[in-house]
Each structure stands twice: as C-alpha cells, then as structure tokens.
Amino acid sequence: MRVHVSHDLGRQGARQRLAAFADGLARREWPGGAELSDLRQTWTGDRLDFSCMATRGLFSLTLRGWVDVADSEVILDADVPPILASLVGEDRIRAVLDEELGRVLTP
C-alpha cells in the first residue's frame, strides 16, 4: 500500500517530525484495543525502514514498510497483511495512514 502526503517542512523538518511520531507509536491507544510492540526503525539517508508487531488478544501480525522523505512530499509504502486488509479494508487503512501522516506533517 502506498500513501503520498505533501508537506512544507523541508526534508529535515519532515524527518524530525516522523522520528518523533514513530517513537510514540507503541504508547498510543489504537482502535479496537490493538497494541504495537517490537517497533524497529532505521534511517538510511532520507528513508525510514520500520517494522512492528500488532497484537489484539491472541491475534498478532507483523507490519513492515518504509517512508521516503522528499523536500515537499512523504511517501509511505507498507506491506499490509492480506488478513488485515480483508478485515479492516484497504481503503480504511489508507485513509487512517493519510490522516495520521497529514497531522504529523502539518506545521
């Protein structure tokens, strides 16, 4: 799944906001009582590679992806497990990601 979000922060400003956001993901309250753990993130230049475990009750799955930061745009590519896409809906997942990234990247 790919999400494009425009911003006016420049590369460095966008990177700083995304790093702070990623650090707080595991502490957030997620819909349906889902919890994130084992968050791993690695910056290589202007690319953030990430992975985490999403758990709800006995059900858990690994989420992976990357974020490429450009001067005026951020592109998120995420590997959404088919079971998650079928349960939640790919359009809903894309809308949440778009909204969250837009919020993070708004000055």
The single-letter code of the amino acid at 104 is V
Q: How far apart are the C-alpha atoms of 97 and 12, rounded to whole Å?
A: 21
Q: How far apart are the C-alpha atoms of 60 and 19, rounded to whole Å?
A: 24
DSSP string of 63-80?
EEEEEEE-SSEEEEEEE-
Q: Tell me the pLDDT of the chain averaged across its residues.
A: 88
CATH numbers and ranges of domains, the chain:
2-104 (3.30.310)
Q: How far is CA 69 from CA 9, 13, 22, 31, 72, in A?
A: 10, 10, 14, 27, 8
Two tokens at 30?
């997620």
Residue-wise pLDDT tens digits, 54-76: 888 888 889 899 999 999 999 99
Given pLDDT bands bounded at 50, 70 and 90, which one contains residue 31? low
